[in-house]
Amino acid sequence: MKYRMFPNTDVRVSEVGFGTWTVSTGWWGDKTDADAVAMMRRALDEHGVTFFDAADAYGNGRSERQIADAFRGRRSEIVIGTKIGYDIYDEVAQQNRRGQQELPMRTDPQFMRLAVERCLERLETDYIDVLQLHNAKMEHVRDPEVWATLRDLKREGKIRAWGAAFGPAIGWLYESVELMEREPDINTIQMIWNVLEQHPGSAMIEAARRHAPNCCFNVRVTHASGMLEGKYTADTVFPENDHRRHRPRSWLVNGVEKVKSLEFLASRMTLGQAALAWLLAEPLVVTALPNVYDDEQVAEFAAASDLPRLPIDAMERIHTLDAVNFGVDDEEPMKYKGAMTRDHGANVDLQDARNPISRPAMPANRGA
């Protein structure tokens, strides 16, 4: 396993991390706490994975309790990322919640501090390595008190690095861009980015280069919800409690066709490993957070860090395929969430306010 630093901090993380969403929420099938704890311990002990990404909203604190159980007495060996912002303490909202419906958000300083203290209690620690505002919206981006609170928490030693996670669906381009413009000392952004879903993540990275010199990215949905593992067929059926079961069939059929165009990547490694190698070719990606739900996946994905990086001709071929939607012609345009065009609330001049950022060309250093 290789390791990277969050710029301008002393936070060092494994290139491949462990996202706890899959083992704590039940949206990827049910896992017991014992299963999750055992997987996390093996990830560290056998594969060198040190970064464990959680959120207080994952199972209402379950992911954080799992981390505490897994590494009790070993705090110095791991790096913990978690997220706050949802009011998981509002019992009425919890009772009225349906499926993956979002809970109400609270970002006033008093609540943020309460949420951090509760996270610390569940994690059984006195500091959080990486704290992010969970699924930040534009109203939060434009509220300087939110980011001042995170800076205060860092000065107080409660957190070591701060940033925002954008979701729950792909998009949120100008939320992330404007955040980097308004708060250029931001440490990190968590976003969706993968070979099949390059926009708007590529544009976010280009914005960081221009406006936030010490901002790095921790990337989730690295395999396009499992599509880039190369194991789906048009006949794949997901279990009842798997969120992918509720996606349109076109997502599965088109995705399988797209993956066929990427089979050349599996000549020297698995497709799943190649998907991570593509991400890790970007220097601003500090760690990739694949969705893992068994020990075989942990071993496969962790090994990607030690494999040779993709050659420049493979990177260029992926870039060319992306420009033609990987050979799928009749797919409906992506319906993005968040702000994908400038609005009049912006106070910066990244580009003409009438136009979204164009999809950038492949950076020259990607083949490094």
Q: What is the pLDDT of residues 236-289, one digit of tens each?
A: 988 776 777 777 888 999 999 999 999 999 999 999 999 999 999 999 999 999
Least confident range from 55-59, 98-102, 147-151: namely 98-102
- Provide the 8-state DSSP code for 266: G
Minimal CA–CA distance to 28: which of 192, 295, 289, 241?
A: 241
Could you give the domains of the chain?
3-367 (3.20.20.100)
Q: What is the pLDDT of residue 2?
A: 98
How many residues are given for the chain? Answer: 368
pLDDT the model gives residue 28: 63
Which residues lie closer than 8 Å to 10 by C-beta, 6 or more apart? Answer: 160
Backbone φ and ψ for 149, nearest 5 degrees, come out as -65, -40
Question: Locate tokens 């969705």: which residue?
Answer: 291
Percent of the chain with pLDDT over 70: 90
